[in-house]
Amino acid sequence: MLLLAVAVVGLGGYALTKRQPSGQLAAIACALGQFCGGSVAPASVPAGGTYTFSCNYGYSGNGIVAVAGSGSCTYKGFSGTTATFICTAGTVPGTFANNCSLDSASPYGTKMNAVNALAVQCAPGQFCGGSVAPTSVAPGGAYTMGCNYGYSGNGIVPLPGSGTCKYEGFSATDTAEFGCTAGATPGTFTDSCSLNSASPYAKKTNSVTALTVAPLVPANAISSGDLDGSDLWIGVHDTGTPGTSVGTSTYPLTVGGYGDVRKFDVSSYSDYGAERYSIDFANETSTTHFIYDLYVQSPNPSAIGNLELDMNQVTANGDTVIFAFQCDSAAGVWDYSTVKSGKIGWVHSAVPCNVSKWTSNTWYHIQISTQRDNSGDVTYNWVAVNGVPATIGITTFEQEALGWGIGDVLANFQLDPVGASGAPMIAYVHDMAIYRW
């Protein structure tokens, strides 16, 4: 009796077979465009190693593609109807899925079929990849570096192009991880991983992704111009504080190496009275992002309890958005304002600041980044002192109906005393500007 058996063999790309009367196996041809198998061999290679990728779609022609999960492949030729590719693994270790594919160049339609995975191993001492994340930060911003040399041990070091890095440990894939802080200078910086003399393997240096340290003030920002030189400043007692205050403002003076400095002088005050100096510098409603930027110093900072640096913008609906921020000596932190139930109040941030402890007659460069939406919410992004930003990252409601003129944009500079009365509060300001976009 003639026996006929049919089987599907799932490995190695074998086709259907039938048993002949003679007992011999004969291959049934793979239908044109049918996936009849594929493979990756060997299934494990070192990083950068060579492997072979094969795909059988029952014909010898265009449109058969090896979709490698690691590295890249080059077509070699056909063995019957099996397309063969020579591949080079990538430098990142791990297990990677692979697929055979028919693309639009195939006369049999497009399809994708999985084949066996490839394990990429990193040999000890071999550079198997590095990383920088994120690739763009502000001056003083945090980023991480990773360096993989195939082992967990001594001698693996980062070479950051900007700032400094601190070792934080190894990941499960033998990647040495480092927490880094960018420097204060903007630019694009080359970063590298390295094996030094403490490594048991040969010394080497390998480039990784570059880091961009972006300027704190973007190039498209509109500048208010030099506000300390304007003659539009007005000083009044802040009626939100008790008591009284008497202040003056003088320009220009030569202080700390600059000949165009403005002096804010609160010569007398009682019962903790504060003096607010204000200036209107723009009339528009479209901008939503701001940086309050100035250099400030004091000959007697110990007399100053709070240094308040505010902004207001009247939006198209007639409401006033408040951007209020102060260095709070008593709390030792930066404060931001919030509006609740129609009342404005202060909230402590976690970022340290104590103006009363500043070094006298020393310039401090202060930059405050804020932004608003169209619903009255303000986000206090960060505050930078001498070019090094610290994240605030707080969004709060900051809108009131004050009846001011639509489009009015103004800045405030305010001095609050440490005590109920005492020595004059004096502050010198240089290069004050508000940037907006």
222-436 under CATH 2.60.120.560, yes or no: yes
Q: How far apart are CA 331 and CA 418, in angstroms?
A: 12
| 149-184 pLDDT tens trace | 999 999 999 999 999 999 999 998 799 999 999 998
The dihedrals phi and psi of 357, each to the nearest 5 degrees, come to -100, 5
* DSSP letters spanning 110-152: -EEEEEEEEEEEPPTTS---EEEESSEE-TT-EEEEEEE-SS-
Q: Tell me the CATH number of domain 130-213, given options 3.40.1020.10, 2.60.40.10, 1.20.1250.20, 1.50.10.10.
A: 2.60.40.10
Strands (E), 271-328: 275-283, 289-297, 304-314, 320-323, 325-328
**Amino acid letter for position 176:** A
Q: Where in the chain is the domain with CATH 2.60.40.10?
A: 27-121, 130-213
Q: Which residue shows structure tokens 């063995």?
A: 79
What does the alpha-carbon distance between residue 314 and residue 300 come to, in Å, rounded to a whole number?
Answer: 35
Q: Are strands 364-372 and 377-385 parallel, antiparallel or unpaired?
A: antiparallel
Q: H or E stretch including 40?
A: strand 38-41
Enumerate residue ranges in the chain where pLDDT < 70.
Answer: 1-28
User: How high is the pLDDT of residue 28?
Assistant: 59
Domain with CATH 2.60.120.560 in the chain: 222-436
Burial class (CB in 10 A: 0-12, 13-18, 19+), 273: buried
Task: Give bridge partners of residue 290 from the DSSP assignment.
Answer: 370, 436
Beta pairing, strands 377-385 & 388-397: antiparallel
Question: What's the Cα-to-Cα distance from 57 to each of 76, 77, 83, 158, rounded to whole Å?
Answer: 16, 14, 8, 47
The pTM of this model reads 0.67
First-residue to last-residue Cα distance in the chain: 89
Class in CATH terms, 27-121:
mainly beta
| 268: three-class secondary structure by DSSP | strand
**301: closest CA among 251, 353, 367?**
353
